[in-house]
Structure 1
């Protein structure tokens, strides 16, 4: 059995804002969330910039007892999941055939690092009980299923920086083929600990030398790019069958029309220079949607700002979309949000859906010396009525994911403010 799948709710806790409306305003307005990192633990690191979640007060969104038990990344994930369900007006209306998928590249690593330091300094009794309960990558799925009485399958997905896109795609497949009526997908990442920052800096993957002007650091598709900027946060979408959403009177923000995934099978960190693996994921996504390249009207690119990654992505777009690839408007919103790694695919699927809803193509920041011959939306947002957005996610290890986010029968054109 095959069913159409729509996004009926979205939630976000990101450096660009707490809640989807705040995040979307910041991204659409072209405001950078990249700052010098707060905290003495960053003082000696070779990279001291990133996208931190700021102004998040767990006591405003979570019960005090729950907030005390959870690490920050799980607080963000639960808050984003709650927002997605409330945005869909679905609280108390979901249940037995509703799955939850948690997507993350690394899981709650900060909690593990703190527990290890406590063990080394004070012995076994100093290790918190919460680590056993909430220290796994799938912890957010269990928490959200218990919190909202969602008794379908609860699980975790990890595919490095493609995790969020893969989780949405797998959720879409579960609904499409009748295994679930709805799926709550939450992407989360807390990657700004000193260990993660030091490791990625040692790989020379991160942008350096921008402590005096952090907002200029993330430079996708600019020929002066030097690396990506790490960010933390969480985002969630509620996926439902179009039939089920219609039956309960829910408005759909957009349709998840297609999903494709592949592996480069090439290198631990570097993409295939010819973009062949990424192109395969894009083609599989279009095939899954029963679409041709002509349907793609906008691309929300993975666009991290690494020299090799951006070049491979442009090659992949040209290989998969053909001659018209260079004429399709591209937005690289990590220039604003930073790179939320395992959560990025969910963040950018939401941005793609809102681009369709509001007729706004978000700007790519810091595009001072663009790669020639491509239509990258630069500087300020562009008004455009688009019906289908390709959202791409690629990661270390050769993980590739692509989603086609589209306006469906249950969604509306620009200006309807459906969520």
Structure 2
């Protein structure tokens, strides 16, 4: 058994990089400035073949490769450059050091700001991990690839459909960007390893009837009354989904009705709109799940004058949504990463499932095993409380450096810390 080496992290340099990254405002659709900063940071770190290419006009992806000496495995470190909006941030923190959402204020050992955890700490962890290995004189056998891509976040009109990843994946498939043996997507995990993630789709349901004056309701077709029946049927369907069992890492499937809008004025309501989100476990098929929803809704309607239409506005790696996925939690890459984390933080490195959807399924579809790992807590991301612990960030850098050394292989074994050499003899 080979021990996991640990390497010292340059605290001041790492903190400065993350504060610089947060300071590059990159709300979805405006990622170019941050992408340019990352391209410079990669070049400064000795990464070669650094390229920027637009996935949409004025919105670039960034790629680079640190070539190894040969004979080792290839590792991809990937993350998204865009962050969610900052509406309400200045008002929430007015008059305090946190007022600027891109100011990267340090308060009680944490760095605050939009993108601090989601996921600029992860991107900076990836860059600093390579620098840590360089500081230690470690030369890797395998390549380390970097891909920083835009358009992952939802929320801004006309954006947030994984356009950046949709541009990257075909390059990998065609061999224009070398296929990695393993990928770490640097979404926040509080330094655990998320080897699975939920799938999802959003359904918008338009219910249309026929209005009539309130005194003669028999002449109308009540869309609101029909929607009541639809809601009851949907909640029953959700209970049925929950009864179908647990996935060991991501739990049960269900649906959540997230919005309802309808009604009229002194008249039978003619229209009503419902929105829902459906959670899927790995192994569930999005098309089948959609068909079930539509059958449930249509089955709840008794009035032939009520009509329904469905829309699915959040297509990602699938036309209607995002696929659930799982990488074997017992596979070598997963367990090796977990071991590297536990060597630095014995209380972390748990193998779990992501309670969010991100872009690893694009890699999974190419046969590339992928996990999520980075500092940061997803529960406070997208909020006015977004921040990341400096100590957690530094521990993440040390862990990722150690993992890269073990996974990619070290060409100059004499430079590995003594405990590593002794264990490997």
**TM-score normalised by structure 2 residue count:** 0.28
User: How high is the TM-score relative to the length of structure 1?
Assistant: 0.28
Compare CA radii of gyration and give the structure with the larger one: 2
